[in-house]
Amino acid sequence: MARIKQPMSNRRRIILGIVGIAFIVVGYSVLSNIQKNRNPSDTTIPNLTQFQDGFVEIFKPRKSELEALLNPDAPAKPPWIVVDVWATYSRLFKAMVWASFISVVLGTLMGCYATIESLFSWSLSFLSKIPPTAMLAVFLVIATIFKWDQNMMFIMLVGFGITPTLIQSIYLAAKYDLHKDEIDKAYTLGASNIELIWNVVLRKILPKIIDGIRLTIGPAMVYLIAAEYSLGSEGFGYRIRMQGRMLNMNVVYIYLTFLGMTGLLMGQSMIGIRKLVCPWFGSK
Partner 1 sequence: MDNNKIILDIENVSQWFETRQGILNVLHEINLQIVQGQFVSLVGPSGCGKSTLLNAILGTVPPKKGTISAGGIPVLGPNRNVGMVYQHRSLYDFMTTEDNVAFGLMLDQTNLFQRLFMPWYWWPLRKKHMEEARELLNKFKLGHAHKHYPEELSGGMKQRVSVAQSLIMKPKILLLDEPFSALDEAMKQEFQEMLLGLYQENLEAKKKGEPPPYTVIMITHSIEQAFYVSDRIIGLSKNWNDEERGQAGKTFGATKMWDKCAPVYHPDDPRDFDLFFAAQQELNQVVLREDAPDADRNDHVSFWSDLEKGVGTGVTMLRSNQ
Site for partner 1 contains 60 (CB under 8 A): no
Write the binding mask 194 to 223 for partner 1: x where contact by CB under 8 A, - elsewhere.
Answer: xx--xxx--xx-x-----------------
Under 8 Å between Cβ of 150 and 231? yes
Query: Which residue in the set 136, 191, 222, 259 belongs to the binding site for partner 1 (CB under 8 A)?
Result: 191
CB of 166 to partner 1, least distance (A): 21
Please identify, using beta-carbon distances, which residue of 202 and 242 lies nearer to partner 1: 202
Site for partner 1 contains 283 (CB under 8 A): yes
Site for partner 1 contains 13 (CB under 8 A): no
CB of 270 to partner 1, least distance (A): 18
Please identify, using beta-carbon distances, which residue of 15 and 273 lies nearer to partner 1: 273
Taking CB under 8 A as the binding criterion, the range among 75-83, 91-99, 250-258, 272-280 that sits at the site for partner 1 is 272-280
Please identify, using beta-carbon distances, which residue of 28 and 281 lies nearer to partner 1: 281
Please identify, using beta-carbon distances, which residue of 77 and 185 lies nearer to partner 1: 185
Site for partner 1 contains 184 (CB under 8 A): yes
Between CA 88 and CA 229 the distance in angstroms is 11
Query: Which residue in the set 5, 12, 38, 284 belongs to the binding site for partner 1 (CB under 8 A)?
Result: 284
Site for partner 1 contains 85 (CB under 8 A): no
Site for partner 1 contains 278 (CB under 8 A): yes
Can you give the binding site for partner 1, defined by CB under 8 A? 179-182, 184-192, 194-195, 198-200, 203-204, 206, 278-281, 283-284
